[in-house]
Amino acid sequence: MPLPSATAVTPAAPRPRTPAPPEAYVTDPALVKRAVKAAALGNAMEWFDFGVYSYIAVTLGKVFFPSGNPTAQLLSTFGAFAAAFLVRPLGGMVFGPLGDRVGRQKVLALTMIMMAAGTFAIGLIPSYATIGVGAPLLLLAARLVQGFSTGGEYAGASTFIAEYAPDKKRGFFGSWLEFGTLAGYIGGAGLVTLMTAFLSTEDLLSWGWRVPFLIAGPMGIIGLYLRMRLEETPAFAAELAKASKQEADRPKVRLREMVAGQWRALLLCVGLVLVFNVTDYMLLSYMPSYLTSELKYDETHGLLVVLGVMALMMIVQPFAGALTDRIGRRPVIAAGCVGFLALSVPALLLIRQGSLLAVALGMGALGLLLVCFTSAMPAALPALFPTKVRYGSLSIGFNVSVSLFGGTTPLVTTALIGATGNMMMPAYYMMAAAVVGGVAVWFMTESAGRPLPGSAPAV
């Protein structure tokens, strides 16, 4: 039987193929630095507001919640503070999936606009003496806008930096996100300190408290400009190309896939964010009010101590981030958990001594332990999830944990002290958080120096 000719079979028409993802991304150092600056500035603006709100909480209590009981005023103020965290998961459920569908850059620009608008609006609200109960209601509404927008901010910013940074320097570049947080805190604390020192109580109550919130307007415009100039991350661009060559077809991810499909990573995320944010809010948000209202410490000196601690943390932050690239995220986070478990009580006992040196030493010790989290988490958390669901899953896990445990820290701690009379409650609360964080570290996988899940190596 004669063999068939090679030309007897007509070849099929070539089928269109989806572009294959690159074997490796070659990052542009200048572009990475621009991405880091834009992401960090948004974080700085967010925490400038939270810092101002925390440090001027006593004054806000008098403006919006008049009462003869200073503790009741402080609880009401922190209640409005915590209310914003209740809507953060909703913001995460909206902005996270949107960031996985239309892109990280567009959503981060939107969250910047909303954050700036909410903060600016607080500075325009009339006092309780002027419009009565409408004042605290408007304050609550502005805080809810802030909380909703913040639901997409941290997860988006950390994802943005992680997907731009080279694998071997992701910890270093990610640490600048929390550098922006500390810069925002210092800006807020420094401004409140100057106002407290140079303005009379009457001026502070009548108009001075508005100034920090009104600054958010120009800051938001600058941040929006920087974010609009950025390109989409290489990892998301590759994911989009892999999904379809047609621009109209975006990656479609269901909420079930973001949650049920990532349940183990979500549990780890919740545990890591819990220890990170409980200790963060305890030290940077609650301690100034603790020194003033509970220990009757001089308000200006207390703020200056916290300001010094944050400046120390900023100096150490990039070096600690680079250290996580060398020895890994797990050892650094674990060291922070062990440190808070062992040193929270001694540090708070030092703080309660009341002398400037003792307070500075106790706060400084807690601040350096906190750097173990602020330097490692921006790189560790995005690495828990694959590219397709990274923004959405991280937004949900991060904001659920922050809402339940982080943002409620000042309110819960104040209530615990009021109920028990035990001034050591802040230490016990941090120790409990350290135990939960330690369990999460035990089960997490090391990500330092490795590609992000679902992404090609970045060099």
Query: Taking Cα atoms as reference points, which of 122, 149, 82, 72 lies closest to residue 406?
Result: 82
User: CA angle, corner 99, sides to 93 and 105, nearest 5?
Assistant: 140
Q: Which residues of the chain have pLDDT under 50?
A: 1-20, 246-248
Residue type at position 91: G
Angle made by CA atoms 159, 160, 161, in degrees to the nearest 5: 95
The pLDDT assigned to 174 comes to 92
Q: Is 17 helix (H, G, I), strand (E, B) or coil?
A: coil
So what's the pLDDT on residue 69? 61
Q: Where are the alpha helices (DSSP H) in 165-215?
A: 170-198, 201-203, 210-214
Give me the pLDDT at residue 167, please. Answer: 83
Do residues 44 and 181 make contact, with C-beta atoms less than 8 angstroms apart?
A: yes
Give the pLDDT score at 3: 40
One-letter-per-residue 3-state SS of 222-252 = HHHHHHHCCCCCHHHHHHHHHHCCCCCCCCC
Residue 144: Cβ within 10 Å count: 19
- For 119, residues 6+ apart whose C-beta sits below 8 A from its C-beta are 45, 49, 142, 146, 213, 216, 220
25 φ, ψ (degrees, to nearest 5): -95, 135
At 268 the pLDDT is 94
Write down the CATH number for the domain with range 29-239+251-443: 1.20.1250.20
Q: Where are the alpha helices (DSSP H) in 354-420?
A: 356-380, 390-401, 409-420
The single-letter DSSP state of residue 295 is: S
pLDDT digits (tens, 9 = 90+) for 343-399: 999 999 998 887 888 888 999 999 999 999 999 999 999 999 988 888 888 988 998
Q: What local confidence, expressed as pLDDT, does residue 16 receive?
A: 44
Cα 235 to Cα 316: distance, rounded to the nearest angstrom: 30
Single-letter residue type at 47: W
Residue type present at position 174: G
> pLDDT of 214-223, one tens digit each?
887 788 788 7
pTM given for the model: 0.84
Contacts of 167 (CB under 8 A, 6+ apart): 449, 450, 451, 452, 457, 458, 459
The pLDDT of residue 119: 84
Q: How far is CA 56 from the centre of its chain?
A: 20
Burial of 118 (0-12, 13-18, 19+ CB in 10 A): buried
Residue 348 to residue 342: CA distance in whole angstroms: 12
Domain limits, the chain? 29-239+251-443
